[in-house]
Structure 1
């Protein structure tokens, strides 16, 4: 207990945590802004098919972008450890690797998506006119895919290099350019749906170019050079690719669990699935704050591991963990006091409101349970121990499926019970794996 209190009282660590967490919280708030702006602009076009085309097209475009989002987490840990080891050459090399991988995956994914677009849009069962406009949107939109992935890689590197403010500015440039071009192309030039796609492309590429410029500035005065000779060998790429592979598998399983809530909820009725969606928006709201603290853990723990500093690692975990607990309690109290208002702001449908009110206690407990999996994810990402993350997620997902089967007679209550247990299992498995690594004294080499 004394050791924990000493770690908590270390003021410089508090400043470090919040200097990283605050920009990331603000960055998280900008994430849904591009889709919101696109749909808002499309909603003011004369035809309903325009809004439908942008909605459908955005959903299809999100598939490769979301699936390849591991580039962010996969880069952060390596950059943080290189910074902690004060190895400027390694920091430069990690940056180059991540950017090359982002461009390669962006081009490959775009090329593979093009012939599959008619089939993907067909699965939406949209009208012929909406399908045509959605295809027009996507044929242009995919030109921005390499830039979107470059932004993921750049954001991961900036977080690992403890430049979270640059990540925020990168996202602000992307979103502000997108807004400005939407107004110009759609309302000024009257280009309609293609104008919305071009505005999004312009925002992504302007963000990528800005990020590349800031990345160049960050390494310009560093000693050392990119190790191009090592990058020609498979052994140098294997760790990064292995981490990205394991994070990809972990992310797919996590998304599958969230998708199952909508899938099984839909079988219980339209009002049930709608109420569940409103409550899950509350979970997304908690992520804005708690994920920012997890990002700080990624950077600080990775730095401590790279530096071989056990004490700094403990301090980062204790301080970020303490603030995460405070944040989760705050959210639990918020949903307990203002839960009905939170639901009412999202819908005026009486049957949906009534169902959502009954499940607010689950939403109150969820931040208190889920906070630990967010925090431990940050530790494992910073330590580039994605294999353990993948293993923990596989076990948690399997137990979740078992619980779904055991509680299917309980209806929506069983669904929420299984989901809450899944979040607890994520934290428990990562906590157990973390203790095993600690017993081996293997966190810091």
Structure 2
């Protein structure tokens, strides 16, 4: 078995890692750009309720989209293993299953959300004008939900098939169409909030159509065929459905942690809630770079597992892990040395700044602690071992809740201690499970 140093010195692996990571990092950067354009366009509309409607409507729309994000992660591992095994039939089948599941869930989720919208908006305690505009936005926005889920499935398949540039192109088409039509519909045609929603829907469907065209082109060169008769049986769907089920449960629990931070922070006052929101933007910034390397681990480790190549899997982990650690150190230094500037750029409220300054050491520690959970998530996604990811998340959440309760007298510092312990436990529990799998030599099973 090669040593860690030998694995790190393997130049072709460095090239493969960055060939996957760079397009994914660029893809991640397009997401806040679209949100920024939406906010900027809405912010120039005549009524303050217009900006609020876009903010509230986007938050409600994100509920089904984020909850069903397993369509991306669940697809990546199966596609990567099929590509590694050189099994064209399996790669075709994974694509077909993911797209069919995305289309079905998109239709069901859209129809299910419609009657729930008034109730969800009532929870916001908005004014009647804001609620009306939010409903107008969401009734149009939900037309794009099936396309958004198709894009998740397509992105997962492209990543697993090591076509990261196609993933980048898919997101660029989606987001650039959204931005251009935003400016045209709102500033040019004066369609207001409905124009912003239509621009988003158009972008999602243009991305889906482009992605389907590229996916069709990609499978033309593959051997084998889809076994459609077998697809009619539940047995053929069970692996994908079970992995997606476990990732869904993991995602819901993770979403609960972030909701708990907002809820517990609210009990400490409005200033604390605002300060924590600014600090958590640092977590989003960290994810831009480190998630790109985690995506590389998903594809390369899944490919190595499919090819039964233990050395390739080890090299991918070592190289991506090394670069992830170096990246986390860079982020830690950024927040340690420039944290005050990072906060000042986001707000000019003195009390919010002061509250955020006090918690900057926690933000500086977050990248170094959190990087390992991102990396190991990538390994377990590539290995399609979602059950372990689910169990790790449940254990970590229990620790978070326990420490949040024990540290309630420490105010916001107790809350941040609980969150960093949660991130550390995610990494430690996944590392332990990974070690157990390695001891059984079961990664290639």
Which ranges in structure 1 are unaligned for 5 or more consecutive residues?
Answer: none
Partner of 2:113: 113
- Classify the secondary structure of the residue corresponding to 1:442: coil
Partner of 2:233: 233
CA distance in 2: counterparts of 1:265 and 1:65, whole angstroms = 25
Deviation at 1:2, TM superposition (A): 6.4
CA distance in 2: counterparts of 1:34 and 1:326, whole angstroms = 29
- Classify the secondary structure of the residue corresponding to 2:325: helix
Give the structure-1-normalised TM-score.
0.98
Q: CA RMSD in A?
A: 1.1
Asked whether 1:83 is paired with 2:76, we answer no
Partner of 1:282: 282
| 1:162–1:299 Cα contact (<8 Å) kept | yes
Asked whether 1:180 is paired with 2:177, we answer no
CA distance in 2: counterparts of 1:383 and 1:96, whole angstroms = 20
CA distance in 2: counterparts of 1:191 and 1:278, whole angstroms = 32
Partner of 1:265: 265
- Classify the secondary structure of the residue corresponding to 1:221: coil
CA distance in 2: counterparts of 1:2 and 1:211, whole angstroms = 39
Asked whether 1:386 is paired with 2:380, we answer no
Asked whether 1:401 is paired with 2:364, we answer no
| 2:76–2:382 Cα contact (<8 Å) kept | yes
Which ranges in structure 2 are unaligned for 5 or more consecutive residues?
Answer: none
| 1:35–1:58 Cα contact (<8 Å) kept | no
Deviation at 1:36, TM superposition (A): 2.4
| 1:57–1:138 Cα contact (<8 Å) kept | yes
Partner of 1:73: 73
Partner of 2:215: 215
| 1:34–1:200 Cα contact (<8 Å) kept | no
- Classify the secondary structure of the residue corresponding to 1:316: helix
| 2:2–2:311 Cα contact (<8 Å) kept | no
CA distance in 2: counterparts of 1:129 and 1:352, whole angstroms = 29
Per-residue CA distance 1:416-443 (angstroms, 9 max, x = gap): 1111111110000000000000000000
Deviation at 1:33, TM superposition (A): 2.9
- Classify the secondary structure of the residue corresponding to 1:32: helix
Partner of 2:327: 327
CA distance in 1: counterparts of 2:274 and 2:186, whole angstroms = 32
Tell me whether 23-32 or 145-154 shows the greater mean CA deviation.
Answer: 23-32
Partner of 1:168: 168
* Count of residue correspondences: 445
CA distance in 2: counterparts of 1:257 and 1:193, whole angstroms = 31
Per-residue CA distance 1:283-325 (angstroms, 9 max, x = gap): 1111101000000000000000000000000000000000011
Deviation at 1:404, TM superposition (A): 1.2
- Classify the secondary structure of the residue corresponding to 2:345: helix
Tell me whether 236-245 or 184-193 shows the greater mean CA deviation.
Answer: 184-193
Partner of 2:425: 425
Per-residue CA distance 1:376-415 (angstroms, 9 max, x = gap): 0000000000000001111111111111111111111111
| 1:329–1:368 Cα contact (<8 Å) kept | yes
Asked whether 1:125 is paired with 2:143, we answer no
